[in-house]
Structure 1
């Protein structure tokens, strides 16, 4: 299940500090299996119940980058949206995401450099209101003006 705001483009000329968008997604076993296939990360902590039960997590967890990918979805689809180019991303993983957890990935504009079309954004993912990931992204935002 994917719940989010309308997709499209918000041009840099229309961005404001504090503007925020989000996506909500329940992470399924199929999501984890597909991410493992695409990324080639078959770590058993993600895929093997018996193995994962004996780890510090006490059970299977989703790939951290699967969770981080939801931030990319917000940036590429909503804020600023289509035409945005990633320049950098910092991530801090704070807690595991488990199968059937619903993750809310929220991106908030914190700084705008109009002359360079650069936008800095706070990025947070939560599960049941608890932060599981925090970071910051810098992107090149689309503009109405031609370069």
Structure 2
């Protein structure tokens, strides 16, 4: 299974996925990444922060956007070349994150696409916004 080549991509093409963040996700992400910040793991500590409770790693939401790029648009065979992103709101345990990507630019000569990568929560609040540079698969 291969994703879309640059010739198959059009400006404005979109794809998305959603996932609900669980405590298990945060524990597993901490184990894989080595990020055991108390903002994610210690409720007593986290209550004293500006978020007033534990939050998920921001990179969990970012990884959902990565999954959309890798599995849907452009899809399998794509190579990630770069990413800019801003974290705009926290992801809380139990939030459903909707990760979306949209083709913004294509450069057929260099086989590069730039896609907007963004995530909202179940209330439609923008939690992450950025741009990815991708090398789509060559068919």
Q: Does TM-score exceed 0.5, indicating one fold? A: yes
Please give the alpha-carbon distance, in whole angstroms, between the structure 2 residues aligned to 1:62 and 1:46.
Answer: 6
Q: 1:130 aligns with which of 125, 128, 135?
A: 125
Structural mapping, 1:115-126, within 5 Å: 115-126=109-120
Counterparts of 1:1-147 in structure 2, within 5 Å, are 9-127=3-121, 128-144=123-139
Q: Which runs of 4+ in 1 moved over 2 A?
A: none
Q: RMSD of the alignment, in Å?
A: 1.0
Q: TM-score, normalised by structure 1?
A: 0.91
Contact 1:13 1:143 in 2 (8 A): no
TM-score, with length taken from structure 2: 0.96
For residues 10 and 100 of structure 1, the distance between their equivalents in structure 2, rounded to whole angstroms, comes to 33
**Aligned-partner Cα distance in 1 for 2:108–2:7:** 8
| Deviation, structure 1 residue 113 | 0.5
Taking the aligned partners of 1:78 and 1:116, their CA distance within structure 2 comes to 21
Q: Deviations over 1:81-118 (max 9, x none)?
A: 11100110001000000000000000000001111110
- Asked if structure 2 preserves the Cα contact closer than 8 Å seen for 1:49 and 1:60, the reply is yes
2:46 and 2:53 in contact (8 A); partners too? yes
> What secondary structure is seen at the aligned counterpart in 2 of 1:137?
strand
DSSP-derived class of the 1:100 partner = coil
Structure 1: which 5+ residue stretches go unaligned? 1-6
Structure 2, gaps ≥5 residues long: none
Q: Report Cα offsets for 1:11-55 as digits up to 9, x if no partner.
A: 221100000000100000000000000001000100111111111
**Could you tell me whether the CA contact under 8 Å between 2:2 and 2:77 is conserved in 1?**
no
